[in-house]
């Protein structure tokens, strides 16, 4: 590959696909600096359940945009785009290559394409939507969104309360759908491709069952490592609640509700694993339709996990 523009590398993939380990391995071969693209890793105190890199891993390969927010502070795609662009500029100024690694696909999309000019939040409308959800459930509200904006509803999981609420709020506030506003918005001047050569890799499984097994094993390992104790400390603060973006993160919400007495431990484990699998499914849906993506398979067609050295070599061959 050759391009006169400075290079930016994306390393995307579903949860539990080994993105962090591979990115750290790449840093041993390339002059890259890592930028985290993860909506949970931005929060301080969300360590175990977010699979945050360990102190040893961070010493070997520092990650930018980790531990930059308190869990009480919502962090948006717009926040991420501004922060990531600043880090990309600083990394290039130091003569290095930015390697953005993570699984928050909305953040990658916002960085790559820019953000539509959406209306500011309307607290009254949001309260009405949340009242409907409390009375009938989020799938009911999701169905309301599907009736007016089927394109947005198809991209949003029926239990993803924040995104459902925002899309429906925009329609009720403006009479226009979020999808229509995105289509009309001229984002060409904001595209990352304007200034950079963007190389995009997506870690993909041949065998979805293998990924599901890794997800379950990792969730059980998180519990053994102290996830419930971590969430108990967050609850003890007194200023956090389960509707905050930090606490809605997969794993944290289920642990929070278990500690609140909403269900027993086995139900918490099952819900946590299922929610993580659903997250992986949404991430893979994004990746299947992602343009200009170089797919890198983490297993072979027989369902055997590929060695990290082989994956690194495949990436290196493409980047040279």
pTM over 0.85: no
Q: Is there a single domain that holds both residue 202 and residue 273?
A: yes
Same domain, residue pair 69 and 208: yes
Q: How many CB atoms lie within 10 A of CB 295?
A: 13
Are 199 and 305 contained in the same domain? yes
Does some domain include residue 304?
Answer: yes
Overall domain count for the chain = 2
Residues 21, 61 within the same domain: yes
- Does some domain include residue 192? yes
15 and 101 fall within a common domain: yes
Tell me which of 184, 219, 237 is where a domain ends.
184
Range of the domain at 202: 7-115+187-319
Are residues 25 and 132 part of one domain?
A: no
Q: Is residue 74 part of a domain?
A: yes
- Tell which of 138, 161, 184 closes a domain: 184
Q: Report yes or no on 2 lying in a domain.
A: no
- Would you state the pLDDT for residue 188? 42
| Domain stops at, among 139, 162, 184 | 184
Q: Do residues 252 and 231 make contact, with C-beta atoms less than 8 angstroms apart?
A: yes
Same domain, 128 and 101: no
- Please indicate, yes or no, whether residues 292 and 273 belong to a single structural domain of this protein: yes
Measured between alpha carbons, how far is residue 191 from residues 52, 101, 194, 201, 234 in Å?
A: 29, 19, 6, 18, 38
Task: Judge contact between 204 and 293, C-beta under 8 A.
Answer: no
Q: Are residues 139 and 23 in the same domain?
A: no
pLDDT digit of tens for each residue in the chain (320 aa)?
555 899 999 999 999 999 999 999 999 999 999 999 999 999 999 999 999 999 999 999 999 999 999 999 988 888 999 999 999 999 999 999 999 999 999 999 999 988 776 677 777 888 899 899 889 999 999 999 999 999 888 878 787 787 888 889 888 888 888 878 767 654 444 689 999 999 999 999 999 999 999 999 999 999 999 999 999 999 999 999 988 999 999 999 999 999 999 999 999 999 999 999 999 999 999 999 999 999 999 999 888 999 999 999 999 999 98
Question: Residue 38 sits in a domain of what CATH number?
Answer: 3.40.50.300
The reply to whether 133 falls in a domain is yes
Please check whether residues 32 and 104 belong to one and the same domain. yes
CATH number for the domain that contains residue 178? 1.10.20.140
């Amino acid at each position: 590959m050759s391009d006169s523009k400075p290079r930016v590398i994306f390393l995307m993939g579903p949860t539990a696909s080994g993105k962090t380990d591979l990115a750290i391995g790449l840093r041993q071969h390339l002059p890259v600096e890592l930028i985290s693209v993860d909506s949970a890793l931005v929060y301080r105190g969300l360590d175990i359940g977010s699979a945050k890199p360990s102190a040893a891993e961070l010493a070997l390969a520092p990650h930018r945009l980790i531990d930059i927010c308190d869990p009480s502070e919502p962090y948006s795609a717009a926040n991420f785009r501004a922060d990531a662009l600043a880090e990309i500029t600083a990394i290039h100024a130091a003569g290095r290559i930015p390697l953005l690694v993570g699984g928050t696909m909305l953040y990658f999309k916002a960085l790559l394409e820019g953000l539509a000019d959406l209306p500011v939040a309307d607290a009254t409308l949001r309260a009405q939507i949340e009242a409907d959800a409390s009375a009938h459930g989020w799938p009911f509200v999701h169905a309301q969104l599907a009736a007016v904006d089927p394109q947005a509803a198809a991209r949003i999981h029926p239990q993803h309360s924040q995104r459902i609420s925002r899309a429906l709020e925009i329609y009720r506030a403006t009479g226009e759908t979020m999808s229509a506003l995105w289509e009309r918005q001229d984002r060409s001047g904001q595209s990352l491709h304007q200034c950079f050569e963007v190389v995009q890799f997506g870690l993909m499984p041949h065998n979805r069952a293998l990924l599901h097994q890794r997800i379950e094993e990792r969730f059980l390992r998180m519990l053994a490592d102290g996830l419930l104790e971590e969430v108990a400390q967050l609850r003890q603060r007194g200023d956090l609640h389960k509707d905050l973006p930090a606490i809605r993160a997969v794993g944290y919400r289920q642990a929070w509700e278990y500690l609140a007495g909403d269900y027993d431990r086995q139900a918490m484990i099952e819900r946590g694993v299922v929610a993580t699998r659903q997250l992986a499914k949404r991430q893979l849906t994004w990746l299947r339709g992602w343009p200009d993506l170089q797919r890198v398979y983490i297993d072979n067609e027989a369902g055997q996990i590929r060695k990290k050295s082989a994956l690194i070599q495949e990436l290196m061959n493409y980047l040279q």
